[in-house]
Structure 1
């Protein structure tokens, strides 16, 4: 019976997974910084309250730091990547819920923003899954 390793190797085997984690970190960090720096402007432009954008932005900056740390480790734990993917899936589900429930009076640009960022996060998650499967 084959044993599944609990970590991903540091060499080229983990190239796709590291790439996916770093891209997720870059996107999350950039979006987080913009949310914190321009919460009032974003709130008006997209129909989202600044009081929501500040903590979301701060979370995203911290999330980005955690993703960079994970991607730079000598061995990437599969369980850690599973947690990252679960959080990303929860983010996408919350984005859909935000649209369906109508919690905020989103503008057309706000609806587009929520859809685009959810699609991007889903894409990162797909790449992370592919990176894990490639080395199973």
Structure 2
């Protein structure tokens, strides 16, 4: 199968690589926070159990490692770079659904924390989108 310039992003730097590394770092910090504060998060946010937050942290640390792996490749496949873009969009939409539905009994702090996380994740989605667009046009 022949690859076109629109399926690969080459070079050691660039907006896409920076976006992937930044998203990876943010996810790693979030994962560590979930695991370290697993006992305190249910009361702070208003839902869940320590096991749920420790599990979320474990899943997110694997996601962070995967993002770092993609960013570290000499040639980044744009199809792989789109996966975290879509994942971030799903996270933001899921947060909006949680807010609008009232599905979780969030505390005031929980609403602020989830809202700020959604804003950060939306920012990473935007930076990933811009990085992908730039890579498609180079």
Query: Are 1:20 and 2:19 an aligned pair?
Result: yes
Q: Which protein has the bigger helix share?
A: 1
1:7-45: per-residue Cα shift (whole Å, max 9, x none)?
101244xx1111111111111111111111211201111
Question: How far off is 1:54 after superposition?
Answer: 2.2
SS in 2 for 1:39: coil
1:45-72: per-residue Cα shift (whole Å, max 9, x none)?
1113124322221111111000010100
Structure 1 runs not aligned, ≥5 long? none
Equivalence map 1:39-54=2 (5 Å): 39-50=38-49, 51-54=51-54
Once superposed, which parts of structure 1, at least 4 consecutive aligned residues long, lie more than 6 Å away? none
| TM-score, with length taken from structure 1 | 0.90
| TM-score, with length taken from structure 2 | 0.89
Query: Are 1:83 and 2:87 an aligned pair?
Result: no
Aligned residue in 2 for 1:9:
10
Question: How far off is 1:103 after superposition?
Answer: 2.1
Aligned length: 132
